[in-house]
A and B are shown apart, each in its own frame.
Chain A
Amino acid sequence: MDIALRAVFLYAFVVFLMRVMGRRELSSLSALDLVLLIVLGDAIQQGLTQDDYSVTGAVIAVSTIAAVQVGISYLSFRSRRARRVLEGEPVVIIEDGKLIERNLKRERLTEDEIAEEMRMQQVASVDDVAWGILESSGNMSFIPK
Chain B
Amino acid sequence: MARIPDTIVLRRDRDLGPRQNDIWVRRGLFGLVCVVPLLALFNVFGQRPDTSTGTAAAAQLSVSAPSHVRGGLLYQARFTITARKKLAQAELVLARGWIDDLTINTLEPSPTSETSQDGQLALDLGPIDAGQTYVLFVDYQVNPTNVGRHDQAVTLYDGNRALVTLHRTLTVFP
Given A21-B30, A143-B2, A106 and B23 contact (CB-CB distance below 8 Å): yes
| CB pair A92 B29 closer than 8 Å | no
| CB pair A91 B13 closer than 8 Å | yes
B127 to chain A: which residues have CB within 8 Å? none
Which A99-114 residues have C-beta < 8 A from chain B? Answer: 100, 103, 106
B25 CB → nearest A CB, Å: 9
Q: Which of A89, A100, A103 has the most CB of B within 10 A?
A: A89
Given A131-B2, A131-B4, A144-B2, A89 and B30 contact (CB-CB distance below 8 Å): no
Interface magnitude class on chain A: 20 to 34
Instruction: Please tell me if B107 contacts chain A, counting CB pairs below 8 Å.
Output: no
| CB pair B5 A143 closer than 8 Å | yes
Q: How far is the CA of A96 from the CA of B3 in the complex (A)?
A: 10
Instruction: Please tell me if B54 contacts chain A, counting CB pairs below 8 Å.
Output: no
| CB pair A16 B2 closer than 8 Å | no
A68 to chain B: which residues have CB within 8 Å? none
Given A20-B30, A50-B72, A6 and B12 contact (CB-CB distance below 8 Å): no
Q: How many residues of B contact A (CB 8 A)?
A: 21
Instruction: Please tell me if B145 contacts chain A, counting CB pairs below 8 Å.
Output: yes
A-B contacts, CB under 8 A, total = 52
Q: Which of A50, A89, A144 contacts B13 (CB 8 A)?
A: A89
Main secondary structure of the interface of A (DSSP, over half): mixed
Which A40-94 residues have C-beta < 8 A from chain B? Answer: 50-52, 89-92
| CB pair A130 B16 closer than 8 Å | no
Given A100-B14, A103-B14, A145-B2, A92 and B8 contact (CB-CB distance below 8 Å): yes
B144 CB → nearest A CB, Å: 4
| CB pair A51 B10 closer than 8 Å | no
Which A4-37 residues have C-beta < 8 A from chain B? Answer: 6, 16-17, 19-22
Given A21-B30, A131-B4, A92 and B10 contact (CB-CB distance below 8 Å): yes
B4 to chain A: which residues have CB within 8 Å? 131
Q: Which of A91, A92, A96 has the most CB of B within 10 A?
A: A92
B10 to chain A: which residues have CB within 8 Å? 92
- A-B CB contact pairs (8 Å), 24 listed: A2-B144, A2-B145, A6-B174, A16-B29, A20-B26, A20-B30, A20-B33, A21-B30, A51-B144, A90-B8, A91-B14, A91-B16, A92-B13, A92-B14, A95-B14, A103-B16, A106-B23, A130-B1, A130-B2, A131-B4, A131-B5, A133-B13, A143-B5, A144-B2
User: What is B's interface to A at a CB cutoff of 8 Å?
Assistant: 1-2, 4-5, 8, 10, 12-14, 16, 19, 23, 26, 29-30, 33, 71-72, 144-145, 174
A-B residue pairs, 4 tightest by C-beta: A130-B2, A92-B14, A50-B144, A20-B30
